[in-house]
Structure 1
Amino acid sequence: MKPSFLLLAGIILTTSTLNAQQSDEQLRQKADKIAHKYILTDGHVDLPYRLKIKNFRLEREYLGIPISTKDGDFDYERAKKGGLSVPFMSIYIPSSYQETGGAKQLADSLITMVKGIAKAHPDKFAVVTTPQQADANFKKGIISFPMGMENGAPLLQLSDVAYFRQKGISYVTLTHAKDNHICDSSYDTTYTHKGLSAYGKDVIKEMNRVGIMVDVSHISDDSFYQAVELSTVPVIASHSSCRHFTPTFKRNMSDDMIKVMAKKGGVIQINFGSSFLDENYRNQVQVLQEKFGKMLKEKGLKYGAPAAEEFLKQYQKENPVLFADVETVADHIDHVVKLTGNTQHVGIGSDYDGVGDSLPTGLKDVSQYPNLIYVLLKRGYSEDDIANIMYRNVWRVWKQTIANAKI
């Protein structure tokens, strides 16, 4: 679909002119309308693990979570306000489980939790495994829960790939913070496999066979290039941003990676964490963390101890950092559009409930997506452009992955 503006040439077309003629209030109303008119999918919401560490028990519904709560970044009421209709629930497996064992059991328990939430509130939520199911739920006003496994650690043998597809998994992030048996991580410096392992190559082939999207967030650059080359369908980055703005942060994607992924039809879904968006924020945090560490040592305190936690709260209050903002998120979207020449290879992957209090101003929880749409309208994006970003791009990859499956 043709974009409404050409960033490379700096040409402002009709849509931008029309948007400029509208008042600020009219644009905000239009943004809210668009947020609810189209499906809005978010590639990565860490609600399940947040509930797990809160000792969530479905029978108690944990004080109303996830219907209405002030805790965390997601609940039903805020999601409806923001227009969020298809959040991918992250089945997050910490890298520590690669050493201790129990990764598969944790994945099963989190999947059971997500299904249990939907079963307890069938008028509000439903688990889905295809975009067509999500389309049908959207028409009914029901929020869909597709699931993505963050870290392939539970894929202990090749048959586990089909097992988790049958359990409802629609994408797998190949690894997380450490190299695993599938591939190397962007956070690790061990370079265990120099990319994909032999088993990892088989896993990608099996993911293609059973219809699970390949998620390249978190993986090393070598792993990325090998995965994109090997996969017979486009890949996604479910929650990554542009390394152009954070040159020291290898977890984000370089310009070349974005162009290579787009050439094969893939999609990068922009992460909202300030450390993913802004190098200045990263520098601020690093300086403050180093200073805090020295102060803890002087006081004889250890990280995680109750006294250290209280000291941390006071320290953060006295040393505020300047967060990224909604405009910065739009900058990342603009950059992908500029690199790829259209709006077909970028989406939203907020990492809500996964990046703590580092969320940007204007996008602090799932009620605030219209703020981003408003900024995109101001910058000249058409309604079609925005619908691409909201869901159509991810739908294309998801549908192609399922259509390509051999089972």
Structure 2
Amino acid sequence: MKHLVGLLCTLTFFSCKEKTEKIPESLEDKALRIHNSVITIDTHDDFTVANFTDSINYTQKLDNQLNLPKMDIGGLDVSWLIVYTGQGELNKEGYAKAKENAMAKFDAIHRLCKDYAPDQIELALTSEDVRRITKAGKKVAMIGVENAYPMGEDLSEFENYYNLGARYISLSHNGHSQFCDSNTGEEDGKWLHNGLSELGKKAVAEMNRLGIMIDVSHPSKESMKQMIALSKAPIIASHSSARALCNHSRNLDDEQLLLMKENGGVVQTVAFASYLNTEKSEARTAYMRKLYDEVADSLGLENHKEIKKIADELAAKRKDAVLGVAVSDFVDHIDYMVNLIGVDHVGISSDFDGGGGIEGWQDASETFNVTLELVKRDYSEEDIEKLWGGNLLRVLDKVQEVATTLQ
């Protein structure tokens, strides 16, 4: 009888032990858990006003890279929608035309949040707004301005843009503006201001006063250095990567990265193929261009979307296909900058619908793949939270805190 009782006790012990033992969390499960727990922020998404109408808008899964259904699929919480204006002539006519473009884009963002999808997305102006809106289960829109050119020479426009919801502004894009030189001056060595113009220096002070983050992704290196010297608040690079890994004028070199750290700012690593690995990007582009021609000729097709779809499917199956720039290349830049300036000064951006998109993160629906790669490289949940938006929100808070002391 004792032997039977002992056997029953032994069996009971092992049965209970089996029930209490936890199944080890897989790497994918761990990444998904982290991805769902942190606030994911993409600081640069372009758009076209044509996709902000009653019949065509971001409530639909359109062919573009970012919209609400794709944000849902990929678990992307916050999109900084960009009021972008290309550089034009520095005169009244040019400023007027640019202003018309900018106002149309502001209006489109407000229509999305107020008219088309108020139950799905809301405009945020502060980090507190971001946390409140995501907690309520909605997506978040924030507004960045790419090129202050539409403001003309009227500094009061900065306050108008602030009131419309702009929380970061770049003083130039591709081409020198009335405020500062652009990175594109490296191509021919021609500069308009040798950094900031006098108007640009006043613009830095005005953005500090208002609580607008200064974006240095497109301005020249000298412009950026002068902005840091003048700014009383941290600055950001909304969509740039490490120049040490990819020698492109849109990226930041080590001197600039260290200045960003000293300033307390953040560099939002960008998923733009030619800014991550130019040679790899060009090789893939050449390979795909040839494949597009082959598909068009062999099947007698003319529709570009159809040709691209078939060619992409073929490239995915071919073992000899030239590989494109991928999420691993993107995270290489994150690794580099984290090692150089620390995890507190690095973030994430896509430049979707403005040329961005890489293998594994071609649109917002694939956002999880970035978190997965970070987990594969042993980034902690705390660090992933910082990279995906915590750092950016910290800078926004500091910029707005500085503004309260200046007003």
Shared fold (TM-score, shorter chain, > 0.5): yes
Say whether the 8 Å CA contact 2:274–2:282 is kept in structure 1: no
Give the TM-score, by structure 1 length. Answer: 0.82
Larger Rg: 2
**Matched residues, percent identical?**
32
Deviations 1:283-338 (CA, angstroms, capped at 9, x unpaired): 437878999xxx9xxxxxxxxxxx9989x979x88997532111111101100111
Q: What is the CA–CA distance in structure 1 between the aligned matches of 2:60 and 2:303, rounded to whole Å? A: 31
Q: Equivalent residue for 2:43?
A: 43
The letter for the 2-side match of 1:267 is V
Q: Equivalent residue for 1:92?
A: 84
Give the TM-score, by structure 2 length. Answer: 0.82
Q: CA deviation at 1:33?
A: 2.1
Q: What is the CA–CA distance in structure 1 between the aligned matches of 2:179 and 2:303, rounded to whole Å? A: 37
Q: What is the CA–CA distance in structure 2 between the aligned matches of 1:97 and 1:73, rounded to whole Å? A: 31
Q: What is the CA–CA distance in structure 1 between the aligned matches of 2:62 and 2:303, rounded to whole Å? A: 25
Q: Equivalent residue for 1:238?
A: 238
Hey, which bits of structure 1, 4+ residues long, moved more than 6 A? 285-291, 307-310, 316-320
**1:280-359, aligned counterparts within 5 Å?**
280-284=279-283, 322-340=323-341, 342-355=342-355, 359=357
The letter for the 1-side match of 2:77 is S
Q: Equivalent residue for 2:4?
A: none
Is 1:114 the counterpart of 2:109? The answer is yes
Counterpart selection for 2:121 from 114, 125, 132: 125
Q: What is the CA–CA distance in structure 1 between the aligned matches of 2:76 and 2:388, rounded to whole Å? A: 9
Q: What is the CA–CA distance in structure 2 between the aligned matches of 1:96 and 1:181, rounded to whole Å? A: 10
Deviations 1:173-222 (CA, angstroms, capped at 9, x unpaired): 11111001011111234211111111101001100001100000011111
Q: Assess, with a 3 A threshold, how the Cα gap between structure 1 residues 375 and 155 changes in structure 2: closer, same or farther.
A: same
Q: CA deviation at 1:68?
A: 2.8
The letter for the 2-side match of 1:93 is T
Q: What is the CA–CA distance in structure 1 between the aligned matches of 2:354 and 2:128, rounded to whole Å? A: 27
Q: Equivalent residue for 1:142?
A: 138
Say whether the 8 Å CA contact 1:97–1:103 is kept in structure 2: no
Q: Assess, with a 3 A threshold, how the Cα gap between structure 1 residues 78 and 286 changes in structure 2: closer, same or farther.
A: closer
Q: Equivalent residue for 2:3?
A: none
> Aligned residue pairs: how many?
361
**1:195-234, aligned counterparts within 5 Å?**
195-234=195-234
Q: What is the CA–CA distance in structure 2 between the aligned matches of 1:309 and 1:97, rounded to whole Å? A: 33
Equivalent position SS for 1:59: coil
Q: Assess, with a 3 A threshold, how the Cα gap between structure 1 residues 122 and 97 changes in structure 2: closer, same or farther.
A: farther
Counterpart selection for 2:397 from 392, 396, 399: 399
Q: What is the CA–CA distance in structure 2 between the aligned matches of 1:289 and 1:94, rounded to whole Å? A: 28
Q: Equivalent residue for 1:274?
A: 273
Q: CA deviation at 1:367?
A: 1.8
How large is the RMSD of aligned CA atoms in angstroms? 2.9
Deviates more, 1:159-168 or 1:280-289: 280-289
Equivalent position SS for 2:228: helix
Counterpart selection for 1:153 from 142, 149, 152: 149
**1:374-389, aligned counterparts within 5 Å?**
374-389=372-387
Q: What is the CA–CA distance in structure 2 between the aligned matches of 1:202 and 1:186, rounded to whole Å? A: 20
Q: Equivalent residue for 2:254?
A: 255
Equivalent position SS for 2:128: helix
Q: What is the CA–CA distance in structure 2 between the aligned matches of 1:70 and 1:309, rounded to whole Å? A: 17
Q: What is the CA–CA distance in structure 2 between the aligned matches of 1:399 and 1:381, rounded to whole Å? A: 25
The letter for the 2-side match of 1:187 is T
